[in-house]
Amino acid sequence: MFRETEILKTGSQILPIKQNLEGAGDFVINVGPQHPATHGVLHLVITLNGETIKKVEPHLGYIHRSIEKMCERLNFRQFIYVTSRMDYLSAHINNHACAMCVEKGMQLEVPDRAQVIRVIMDELTRIASHELWWGAMAMDIGAFTPFFHAFREREKINEIMEETCGARLTMNYYVPGGLMADLHPNFQKKVKEFITLFKLKIDEYDELVTGNIIFINRMKGVGILSKEDAVSYGCSGPAARGSSVSNDIRKLYPYAVYDKVQFDEILETGCDSLARYMVRIREMKQSIHIIEQLIDNIPEGEFQAKTKAVLKLPKGEFYSRVETARGELGVYIVSEGATTPYRIKFRSPGFSNLSALDKMARGSKLGDLVAMMGTLDLVIPDIDR
User: Which residues make up the interface to other proteins (CB under 8 A)?
Assistant: 74, 77-79, 81-82, 145, 152, 155, 159, 162-167, 170, 172, 175, 180-181, 184, 204, 207-209, 211-214, 216, 309
Considering beta carbons, is residue 48 or 74 the nearer one to other proteins? 74
Residue 317 is given by DSSP the state E
Helix (H, G, I), strand (E, B) or coil at 376: helix
- What is the nearest approach in angstroms of other proteins to the Cβ of residue 309? 8
Considering beta carbons, is residue 57 or 204 the nearer one to other proteins? 204
- What is the nearest approach in angstroms of other proteins to the Cβ of residue 229? 31
Of residues 220, 243, 238, 225, the one with CA closest to residue 282:
238
C-alpha distances in Å from residue 243, one per residue of 2, 246, 273, 381: 38, 9, 10, 25
- What is the nearest approach in angstroms of other proteins to the Cβ of residue 291? 20
Considering beta carbons, is residue 24 or 197 the nearer one to other proteins? 197
- What is the nearest approach in angstroms of other proteins to the Cβ of residue 220? 13
- Tell me the C-alpha distance between 207 and 217, whole Å: 16
Name the strands in the sheet holding 328-335, side by side, starting at the edge strand that comes first in the sequence.
Answer: 316-323, 328-335, 343-347
Considering beta carbons, is residue 79 or 346 the nearer one to other proteins? 79
- Tell me the C-alpha distance between 12 and 206, whole Å: 58
Of residues 362, 360, 46, 363, the one with CA closest to residue 374:
360
Of residues 175, 205, 339, the one with CA closest to residue 281:
205
Which residues are paired to 317 by β-bridges?
A: 334
Of residues 266, 296, 84, the one with CA closest to residue 175:
84
- Tell me the C-alpha distance between 121 and 182, whole Å: 13
Considering beta carbons, is residue 14 or 213 the nearer one to other proteins? 213
Considering beta carbons, is residue 184 or 282 the nearer one to other proteins? 184
- What is the nearest approach in angstroms of other proteins to the Cβ of residue 74? 5
- What is the nearest approach in angstroms of other proteins to the Cβ of residue 31? 29
